[in-house]
Structure 1
């Protein structure tokens, strides 16, 4: 049995207790998790889906981690789970799953699955049903994603550290955005800063330059930067998979009055939005502060994207770059709770601004601390 380099066994025990409470409510005997974020949160380890794998959590008895033999050793180093059945790369993992469940008296159990899991294809689900004819499959939904919304003190500490990395990496990346420089150098500096400060060696996040007004989430370019360019930097550092984020625009030269005005309006509206992020606040009400304000100010004819989404654990081999378990939009009828963490972001009029925000019992706490506005390299 291994040990996680950051989280204690008590941390995982607390997660397991919360999970089993949800399993009892869903009346399942065992639950299978094959999304990398879910399996990592539950077990301490997650691997790519080159070969299908899953964590099995029974209500009674010991959990097990089914994984390809090649990855069993590294799995054992990180997970608290000691039962790790394996299969060879050329073997079908579903018969291995059925065998593992049968050996533990769970082949006729009520088996909980998240029917929206990106890890379970239609053909894989059909294979499970065929291999386990005596079992009943139950859709338990995105249980782990819901449980992950409320962060533990240890998780919040990782997000604080990731936010400090985001701030410093943004400062350093912005500093090399000068005439004659290039976006690739900014990306290199950002990623080097991640690793230097203890972060995961993961991609830096969107960095793109241009002269227009609508290049959010653009592509890394190779053309030399020139006076008048704007470089959009949105960094997404991680520590043990936990990511905080920050977004700023770097202006090379004097900002145009329209862009400066847009940045000031966005900052003021976003400050009001963040101030409203308190326990009990309705998501749609928090969203409307920025969304309606931007349109009323004439910065956009309509605001068609969300204004924030939840932050937390990201799998290094998962298909999602953001956690949309809770998102801020006009129909968000959920309420904020202490322990939730959000990436709050806004873009309009050629300016973009974002922060990582923790909701506490007494209100919002900014985890990121860069100056609120355009970054200007004159």
Structure 2
């Protein structure tokens, strides 16, 4: 297990309190992160093998897993005596129906219909076979994971330390004549040596592609007067931290440098307003209006914060984000990637909200890097 049993007991209690508030008899949970969150069970096979969990209103959950994943279940799960195996050749709808029949499920069943694993094929078959009332909860169950425990935050701090080492290695590797692949090798190696559990350091680009987020490295050769973008990502037990920085190679444009420094000031001003109880629109407005006032861009439609924590591929963020129309208050224990990204200039941090403010989980120097 990644945590002691008390952590999982607390999570299960919170889920069952949610069920009581919404008068639910069972939860049928598909999203891999939620399955792991509630049961401890983790496998790389989430991408290729179907897993789910049935949570009753009282008692322990039933984890449903492929036989091929049983070793990983035994190695990671909190509730080792409550499982149902399925075998190759069975379909996912049949597996869910069999699990629900074993528990004699009836009454009101909530399910996370927004999960990429909760397909209409599965739910149409299940509704036709099980005499119960199914309630699509969309993304509501994800809120169970938004408030992190101290043990979860500790993993994210470790990931943040690896991120700093990755940036240091990436900056050292940047020079005219080096390739983006060289940077990728340097940053990936530094992350692994620094404790990250993944070898994929995140988006990395130079030249024209450095002006756009989500660029993947290529074999492009870095030249004089290039812009280089590093978004270093690391995780410990799949708890993530990430941090974006901009590097200017060779001769630099004074306006670009001044604007970047202004972006840092704007984000610092926004972060200074954050604490538990503050509405998300307060820092969002500071960032959004501040970026436009620099004149670097005419408008700033980006989100300004989005939730991070435990994430498995293909998910890259938790389903909580700060946009111009977001409506929620920060709570202690929420964790976010706070970022400004505009026309090639990128500055970001991973943070955790506290009662009195916030803590940076990524601590690399915030200045623009000139080489």
Bin of the TM-score, shorter chain as denominator length: over 0.9
Cross-structure match for 1:17: 13
C-alpha distance after superposition, 1:315-373 (max 9, x if no partner): 1xx322222x2212221221111111111111235321101111111112212111112
User: Tell me, which stretches of 5 or more residues in structure 2 are unaligned?
Assistant: none
Which of 100, 116, 119 lines up with 2:117 in the alignment? Answer: 119
Which of 294, 297, 302 lines up with 1:297 in the alignment? Answer: 294
Q: Give the SS at the match of 1:48.
A: helix
C-alpha distance after superposition, 1:32-66 (max 9, x if no partner): 11111111111112342423220111113331111
Tell me the CA shift for residue 272 of structure 1.
Answer: 0.3
Please say if residues 337 and 349 of structure 2, whose CA atoms lie closer than 8 Å, have aligned partners that are also in contact. Answer: yes
The yes-or-no answer on 1:259 pairing with 2:259 is no
State the distance in 2 between where 1:245 and 1:229 align: 23
Q: Give the SS at the match of 2:352.
A: strand
Q: Give the SS at the match of 2:169.
A: helix
State the distance in 2 between where 1:202 and 1:335 align: 35
The yes-or-no answer on 1:321 pairing with 2:320 is no
Q: Give the SS at the match of 1:85.
A: strand
Tell me the CA shift for residue 274 of structure 1.
Answer: 0.8
Deviates more, 1:189-198 or 1:257-266: 189-198
State the distance in 1 between where 2:355 and 2:91 align: 48
State the distance in 2 between where 1:170 and 1:200 align: 16
> What RMSD in Å do the two structures reach over aligned CA positions?
1.6
State the distance in 2 between where 1:236 and 1:366 align: 15
Which of 24, 29, 32 lines up with 1:28 in the alignment? Answer: 24
C-alpha distance after superposition, 1:274-298 (max 9, x if no partner): 1111112111121010110111121
Change (3 A) 1:202 1:130: farther
Cross-structure match for 2:187: 190
Which of 341, 355, 370 lines up with 1:361 in the alignment? Answer: 355
Q: Give the SS at the match of 1:362.
A: coil
Please say if residues 113 and 137 of structure 1, whose CA atoms lie closer than 8 Å, have aligned partners that are also in contact. Answer: yes
Q: Give the SS at the match of 1:245.
A: strand
Cross-structure match for 1:88: 87
Cross-structure match for 2:173: 176
Structure 1's consecutive aligned runs of 4 or more residues displaced over 6 angstroms after TM superposition are none
Which of 29, 41, 52 lines up with 1:45 in the alignment? Answer: 41
State the distance in 1 between where 2:168 and 2:139 align: 37
State the distance in 2 between where 1:294 and 1:63 align: 48
The alignment covers a number of residue pairs equal to 368
The yes-or-no answer on 1:222 pairing with 2:219 is yes
State the distance in 2 between where 1:223 and 1:92 align: 45
State the distance in 1 between where 2:6 and 2:140 align: 20
- TM-score normalised to the size of structure 1? 0.93
State the distance in 2 between where 1:212 and 1:49 align: 29
Change (3 A) 1:371 1:51: closer
Deviates more, 1:245-254 or 1:150-159: 245-254
Tell me the CA shift for residue 312 of structure 1.
Answer: 0.6
Which of 64, 70, 73 lines up with 1:72 in the alignment? Answer: 70
Cross-structure match for 2:274: 277
C-alpha distance after superposition, 1:78-137 (max 9, x if no partner): 01122221111111232232222222222x2322101212111111110111221x1211
Please say if residues 49 and 119 of structure 1, whose CA atoms lie closer than 8 Å, have aligned partners that are also in contact. Answer: no
State the distance in 2 between where 1:258 and 1:183 align: 26
Please say if residues 95 and 131 of structure 1, whose CA atoms lie closer than 8 Å, have aligned partners that are also in contact. Answer: no
Cross-structure match for 2:101: 102
Please say if residues 29 and 58 of structure 1, whose CA atoms lie closer than 8 Å, have aligned partners that are also in contact. Answer: yes
User: Tell me, which stretches of 5 or more residues in structure 1 are unaligned?
Assistant: none
